[in-house]
Amino acid sequence: MQPLLLLELLILLAVANGTPVIAKKILGDRLARPLDGGTLFYDGKPVFGPTKTIRGIVASLLVTPFAAWLMGLQWELGVVIAAAAMAGDLCSSFVKRRMTLPSSSMALGLDHIPESLLPLLGSRLLLPLSLLDVLAGVAIFCVGALLLSPILYRFNLRDRPY
């Protein structure tokens, strides 16, 4: 296992997943266009919901490669991590809408596994990560997100304490 590399990837995962939240706090409703444009799926429910915005995805795709570069990593790694994290988050939102869960509601596992698993698997294209590294990274990310969420809520960086 490669603990230092895993730590760097977890930092990039936090940047990729946290940037849309910070962009929302900084910009408020400005540029907050829902990615699905308010479109309903054939089941009559939103495709992703109003909290999945073009602004958030673009912000993640711009900030994460810059963060990777600042950390001395390939900027391309930042692109892979941001794109895969956003894809995982969109998959989670899509499934949650099918389950009739409201936007920003918590679904244990579904909220954190796709947005960490997909980027870590994608990172294997550029880095020598083992499957054990990937699984450890997902586990650490999930536990860390659950532990940090109440703290981020207290600092008004999250809308809900979970």
| Type of residue found at 140 | I
Least confident segment among 50-64, 106-120, 144-158: 144-158
**Is 122 within a domain?**
yes
**Is 103 within a domain?**
yes
**Is 160 within a domain?**
no
What six digits make up the tokens of 75?
A: 């900027």
- The secondary structure of 91-150 as a DSSP string is HHHHHHHHTTPPTT---TTTTTHHHHHHHHHHHTTTS---HHHHHHHHHHHHHHHHHHHH
Query: What is the residue-averaged pLDDT of the chain?
Result: 92
Q: 94 pLDDT exceeds 70? A: yes
What six digits make up the tokens of 5?
A: 């590399």
How many separate domains does the chain show? 1
Rounded distance between C-alpha atoms, residue 115 and residue 83, angstroms: 10
- Predicted model pTM: 0.92
DSSP 39: P
Rounded distance between C-alpha atoms, residue 158 and residue 162, angstroms: 8
| Type of residue found at 63 | V
Residue 151's pLDDT band (boundaries 50, 70, 90)? Answer: confident
**Is 162 within a domain?**
no
Give the per-residue pLDDT at 162: 62
Q: 111 pLDDT exceeds 90? A: no
What six digits make up the tokens of 159?
A: 């809308």
Which has more pLDDT, 17 or 105?
17
Domain that holds residue 106: 3-154
Residue 46, helix vs strand vs coil: strand
Residue 48's pLDDT band (boundaries 50, 70, 90)? Answer: very high
Average pLDDT rounded to a whole number, residues 108-112: 87
**Is 66 within a domain?**
yes
Percentage of the chain surpassing pLDDT 70? 97
What six digits make up the tokens of 149?
A: 């969420």
Percentage of the chain surpassing pLDDT 90? 75
**Is 147 within a domain?**
yes
Rounded distance between C-alpha atoms, residue 85 and residue 157, angstroms: 19
Give the per-residue pLDDT at 161: 65
**Is 12 within a domain?**
yes
**Is 161 within a domain?**
no
- Of 23, 31, 87, 81, give the one whose Cα is nearest residue 54: 31
